[in-house]
Every structure is written in structure tokens, then in C-alpha cells.
Amino acid sequence: MHSLEHSFLIATPSLDDGWFEKTVIYIVEDNEYGSMGLVINSPNRLTVKDLLEHFHLPIHDESEELTRQVLIGGPVDNERGFILHTPQGQWKSSMPLQDGLAMTVSEDFLEAVSEQQAPDNFLVCLGFAGWEPDQLAQELQENSWITIPYNESLLFETPVEKRWEVALATLGIHPSMLSTHAGNA
């Protein structure tokens, strides 16, 4: 089985009536135990500043990073925070990924944001998307998802509201080209 770790899933129109409609998901883990990913284009009503206030962390400056939207990372465990960032850094609870990317789940990262010591590239997600073993493979066979390789620009530079269209464009696909009907030749 080919692992999808460190790639993106792009929702197809077959998912147009559910939670994953027009989502782009970064796959953190994909192995024999299942798959875990973070939706990178579903904004929450919260900002990074709101999170700092929630954790009673000081706000020293009204920097641009404080206005970043927190994302809804998925429908599972949506009270839990996950931070994707580069460079990896030294955080208490951080998992190194590929290409200098890391996922951190510890409050010390937010402390670094509060102290203006955080990396420039980071995004905060609440919750995650999860699949049982073989479930994601089945959804791929059903044409629910298109996969593309990791792209740092898509993750950190593309505006949240444009990520689905930009992800499709990396494959030369315009959203109007997609059909809601799957078929096999």
C-alpha cells in the first residue's frame, strides 16, 4: 500500500453534501492503523489572538499573525489543537514531518507566538479528520478524493478561501471540469 503521508487530499464533488465539501486536507499519518489529516481550508470564527486570550497569554503587539484565523481541522476531537509549522523547532510535544514541516500540539508554541518568537509559517487547527484502516483507500477508489504532493506554498501562502481551487489548479483542473458521477473504464 502506498502511503499518502505528507500529501494533500482534495475533495471531489461526490462529497458536496457533507462535512468535507470543497476541503483540502494535509495527511499527517497514513499507515496500517488508519489515517489522520488536518483540513487546511475551513476557517473557524476564532483568531490566534482569541486562542492566546483563552490561554491567558500576554499579547505584546497587534502583529499580523494574531489576526490569522484558526482552522477547523476536522470533525474529530475539535477541542484539541494542532499546529503545522516550519521550521521544526524545539517544542515540548512536536512531531517532525517531511520537508522541514512539523506538527506541534503543545501550549509552548502558543507561548512563543505570544512572545513573538514563533516561526513565520504556521497554521492552527482545532480537530482533525480520521479514517479507520483501509477506509481512506476505499474513499479514493470511490473517487471522493484527488491526491497531490505536498506544496508549502499551498499550505502557508495561499489564502484559506482559495486553497481548494488552487489545489485543483496544480493538476490543471478547473472546478467546473469535475463531475459528481464516478465511473470506471
In the chain (185 residues long), the average pLDDT of successive 10-residue segments reads 90 86 97 96 94 89 84 93 86 87 89 87 96 94 94 96 95 78 51
Phi, psi for residue 3 in degrees, rounded to 5: -80, 140
Residue 185 lies in a domain: no
Is 128 inside any structural domain?
A: yes
**What three-state secondary structure class fits 157?**
coil
Give kind and range of the element (H or E) at residue 37: strand 34-39
Cβ(146)–Cβ(120) below 8 Å: no
The answer to whether position 2 is within a domain reads no
Range of the domain at 104: 7-177
The partner residues of 128 in beta bridges, in order of sequence, read 76
3-state secondary structure (DSSP) of residue 106: coil
**121 part of a folded domain:** yes
Q: What is the count of structural domains for the chain? A: 1
Cell 502557508 belongs to 156
Taking only the tens place, the pLDDT of each residue in 113-126 is 888 888 889 999 99
Q: Are 163 and 8 in contact (CB under 8 A)?
A: no
The partner residues of 122 in beta bridges, in order of sequence, read 85
Is 85 part of any domain? Answer: yes
Compute how many other C-beta atoms are within 10 angstroms of the C-beta atom of residue 10: 24
Other CB atoms within 10 A of residue 169 CB? 13
Closest CA to 126 of 54, 43, 64: 43
Instruction: Kindly state the cell numbers that stand for 173.
Output: 483542473
In a domain, 98, yes or no: yes
Predicted local confidence at residue 161, as pLDDT: 95
Helical segments of 48-121, H only: 48-54, 107-114
Is the residue at 162 inside a domain? yes
pLDDT in tens, 120-152: 899 999 999 999 999 999 999 999 999 999 999
What's the confidence (pLDDT) of residue 174?
82
Q: How many CB atoms lie within 10 A of CB 178?
A: 16
* Rounded alpha-carbon distances, angstroms, from residue 44 to 54, 92, 149: 15, 25, 25
Helix (H, G, I), strand (E, B) or coil at 55: coil
CATH at residue 69: 3.40.1740.10
Is 126 domain-assigned?
yes
